[in-house]
A and B are shown apart, each in its own frame.
Chain A
Amino acid sequence: MSRTFVGMPPFPTAARAALADTQLRANLAHATTTIRAKRAAVVAELDDWEALRLRAAAIKDDVLLHLDEHLVRLEESLTARGAVVHWARTAEEASEVVAQVARAHGVDEVVKVKSMATQEVELNEHLAAQGISAWETDLAELIVQLGDDLPSHILVPAIHRNRAEIRAIFEREMARVGRPAPADLTDDPVRLAEAARLHLREKFLRAKVGVSGANFAVADSGTLVVVESEGNGRMCLTLPEVLVSVVGIEKVVPTWTELDVFLTLLPRSSTGERMNPYTSTWSGVTPGDGPQEVHVVLLDNGRTRALADEVGRQALRCIRCSACLNVCPVYERTGGHAYGSVYPGPIGAILNPLLKGVGHDEQTDSLPYASSLCGACFEACPVRIDIPSVLVDLRAQVVDAHRSGVPKPEALAMRAAAAAFGSGGRLAAAEQASGLAGRALDALSSLTRRGRRAGGRRLVGRLPGPGAAWTDARDLPVPPRESFRAWWKRTDGGTR
C-alpha cells in the first residue's frame, strides 16, 4: 500500500536521478526559497535569537546527560495520570505495541497525526501487514499516501509535488479509499484543501483509535505536546476513544519552563510563523474528555547508540523543524528522496548513520558525504547542531570501518598524499613531476585546434578515467610550469 525506502541506492546515484528531474528541481527551488525568506524574516524579529539558541542547546544537552532520570520521571508522571507506558528498543517493538492496541479494540483502521517517529518505525507497513489501515490526516502526508509516494521533507512531505500533480492524485486515488474528490476540483489550493477536508472528515468521525507522535514530552507533568498547522492533529488527539503515541526518548524536557523556549524556536524555524496554529497538550487521561485509553510508546531504535557517540550525540537535540533542509543547497537540488530515509537533508545525513551505525551498508555510509560542508545548516539550526563537524566525524568513522579490508583507490591516493605532504622536500619533487605533466598537457592542448585559454593559462578539456568526474562539466587549467615553491627558491622570494 505504501512504499518504503528499503533498497535505495547510495546518495550520488539517487541524486543523479533527482537532478535530471527538472519539474522536481523547479518545485523544490520554489518551495525552499519561499520558506527561507519567511524564516529569515521572523527570526530577525527577535533580538535574542542567538541567546535562545544557546539556551535551547544547553537544555537539550542537560536532558541528554541525565536522560535516564528524566525518562523515569516521565514514566511516573504519565502513569500517575492514567497513561500506559511502553518501552520499545526497536522499530518492530514499537510498531507491535500499536498493532496490539488496535487488535485489542478489534479495529481495522486508525487515524494518524503526522509523525516522524511512526514513519521511522514504518508503522503503516507493519499495521497493513496485519490488515489494519493507517490513514494519514496531514494534508501533505495524505498526498504522499494517496500517491503511493515517499515523503521528501520533514515538515512538508509532499514538497516535491506541485498543485497540478496534487489535483491529479486526488482525482485518481481518493475514491479508492473513501470519499471521492469533488467532480469540479481545480488546482486552487483552497479547493484542494477542501477536498482533503471532506475526504478526511468521515475518517476522523469513524475512527476508534488515533496514533500520534509528540514534539515534546514534559517529564514533570507527564504531558505530551503536538505542534501542528492544520487542526487534523487536534481531531486525531481528541475524537478517538483510544490514543497511542510513539515518542523518541530524546523528546523529553524537564518542565514547562524549558518547553517555552522550544515553542518559541520551533514555529519560527520551521514554518516561518511566530506561532503555529495548533498546539495540543495532554497529560494521560482526562475523565470524560478526549481519549479514555492513552498509551505512550517510548522509542529507542538507535537513539542510545547515537547518545554514545561523543561528537554525534548533539544530533539528538534536533526538534525536527526542517530549517536545515530549507537552507541546504544540496537538498534544494536533489530533494529528499535521494537521502533514502524519512529523515532527509542535513539532519538526515547525520541522524541516519548515527541511529543505524556505519560500515554496514553503502547507502548509509554515503550520507555523511552528501554535503559540501558549507555550514548553512549549522547557521540555521535553532538548537545549534554543528552538522558539518558531525559529518566530518562520521566520515572518519566510515573510513575507519573499512580500514581492515582491501583499500579503495581513494584510500591509496590519500596515503600517497599523506606521504608527499609529510615533507616539504618530497612535495617539491612531486610538484616537479606535475609541472612536467603540465608541460606535456600544455603541449598537447596547443596541438589540438580547440585548445582554449583562461587568464593566459591553457585549459584541460575532457580527461578520461577518474579525472572525468571533474572535467565532464568543468574546465581545469593545466598545472603551471613552475610551482610557487620553485619560484620562491629560484628568485629568492621574488627579490632576484
Chain B
Amino acid sequence: MRVALMVTCLNDAMFPDAGKAVVTLLRRLGVDVEFPAAQTCCGQPMVNTGYLDEAVPVVRSFVRAFEGYDAVVTPSGSCAGSARHQHSIVARRSGDPGLATAVAEISPRVHELSEFLVDVLGVEDVGASFPHAVTYHPTCHSLRMLGVGDRPERLLRAVRGLRLLDLPRAEECCGFGGTFALKNADTSVAMGADKARHVRESGAEVLVAGDSSCLMHIGGLLTRQRAGVRVMHLAEVLASTEGATRAGAAR
C-alpha cells in the first residue's frame, strides 16, 4: 500500500511538528509514509470564502501530487472534508472533465488521521504513552462533515498514562471557521472564549484536537488569558512515548 501524507498548508508553514508526529506514528505502525513534494493546499480557504476560480489551480496541484497513491492521510478533519466533499465542486467549476475524473478517483482515498488508523490500519492502541490529563475537542468538520464519531477518543483512551477528561459542550463549534475568524472576528472570539472557558472547566492540562487551525484559535485565546492549558494536535499525543517504561512501551 502506497501511503501519502497530506500535511496541509497550515501544518507545513506553521505547525510542522504535527506533520512530523504523523510520520513518527505511522512509521512506528509499520507504514512507510511518503511526502509528495508537489503538494500545497487543499483549496479550502478559497472555496469557503467563495473564490472558486482561484481554487481550480490549487485542486489541480492537489490531484497532481496525490495521483497514484492508495491512501492519503492527513492530520486535519477540515482538509480531509474539503478534499472529500468540495473538490468535486471545484472540478465542476473548472469545466474540465479530466479534473473531475481525477478528483472522483482521489477524493474517497483521503482519510483523516483517526479514520486512517482505525478504519484502514485497524488499530486503536498505537503504542503511545502520554501521562497527562487531557481533554478532547471534536472539531466540527471531523465530527459533522466526515463523521469520525468516537474514533479519536478510542485512540486516546488506549494511550498509556493518559487521563481523558470530559469537555463541557464538546460538540459546539470553537468559532474558528477559516476566514470567518477574520471576517466576523468578534463573533469568532465570543465563541472561542466560551470554548476556552469550557476547556479550563474540564480541568485538563492539555487540549487535544485533530485540526491545527482550531487549536491555533483556541490556543491563541488560552495563552492570551494565561490559562495554563497547552494545546496539542492528536497526532502529537499519539506519537508520544513520554514516560514510557521499557515494559509499558509495547507496540
Contact = CB atoms under 8 A, between A and B. Distances in A.
Interface string A373-417: 111101100000000000011111111100000000011001101
Interface residues of A, number: 69
B14 A480 contact: yes
Contacts of A417: 41, 45-46, 54, 58
B50 interface: yes
A75 interface: no
Given A373-B180, A454-B230, A469-B181, 18 more contacts: A329-B173, A370-B187, A371-B180, A372-B178, A375-B140, A375-B143, A375-B144, A376-B140, A417-B54, A422-B40, A422-B58, A423-B38, A473-B193, A479-B13, A480-B14, A484-B19, A494-B23, A494-B24
Interface of A is mostly: helix
B68 interface: no
B177 A475 contact: no
Contacts of A431: 12-13
A278 interface: no
Most buried by B among A368, A400, A422, A477: A422
Most chain A beta carbons < 10 A, residue from B54, B143, B187, B221? B187
A472 B220 CA distance: 10
B175 A466 contact: no
B52 A421 contact: no
Interface string A444-472: 00000000101100010000001001101
B220 A474 contact: yes
A371 B183 CA distance: 10
A473 B13 contact: no
Interface in B1-45: 7, 9, 11-16, 19-20, 23-24, 34-41, 43, 45
- Ordered nearest first, which 4 A-B pairs have the shortest CB separation? A372-B177, A474-B220, A395-B50, A374-B173
A436 to B, nearest CB: 12
B173 A372 contact: yes
B145 interface: yes
Contact of B186 (A16, A411, A421, A466): A16
B12 A329 contact: no
Contact of B216 (A371, A477, A487): A477
Contacts of A414: 45-46, 49, 51, 54
B83 to A, nearest CB: 14
16 contacts: A12-B184, A334-B187, A372-B188, A374-B144, A374-B172, A392-B47, A396-B51, A396-B52, A414-B45, A417-B54, A417-B58, A421-B43, A422-B61, A424-B37, A470-B181, A484-B19
Interface in A301-333: 329-330, 333
A11 interface: yes
Interface residues of B, number: 77
Nearest to B173: A374
A373 B38 contact: no
Contact of B49 (A15, A16, A399): A399
Nearest to A426: B40
Contact of B224 (A415, A418, A475): A475
B120 interface: no
Contacts of B171: 376
A423 B61 contact: yes
Interface in B136-173: 140-141, 143-145, 171-173
B223 A475 contact: yes
Contacts of B135: none
Contact of B14 (A372, A400, A479, A485): A479
B184 to A, nearest CB: 5
Contact of B40 (A368, A375, A420): A420
B119 to A, nearest CB: 21
A473 B221 contact: yes
B200 interface: no
A477 B14 contact: yes
B127 interface: no
B3 to A, nearest CB: 13
B210 interface: no
Given A333-B190, A494-B24, A474 B224 contact: yes
A395 B178 CA distance: 13
Given A414-B46, A459-B223, A484-B7, A472 B185 contact: yes
B144 A396 contact: no
B35 A452 contact: no
Given A373-B48, A422-B60, A487 B16 contact: yes
A369 interface: yes
Given A12-B186, A454-B223, A423 B173 contact: no
Interface string B108-151: 00000000000000000000000000000000110111000000
B243 interface: no
B40 A423 contact: yes
B205 to A, nearest CB: 12
A31 interface: no
Contacts of A469: 181-182, 185
Contacts of B180: 369, 371-373
Nearest to A419: B57
B16 A333 contact: no
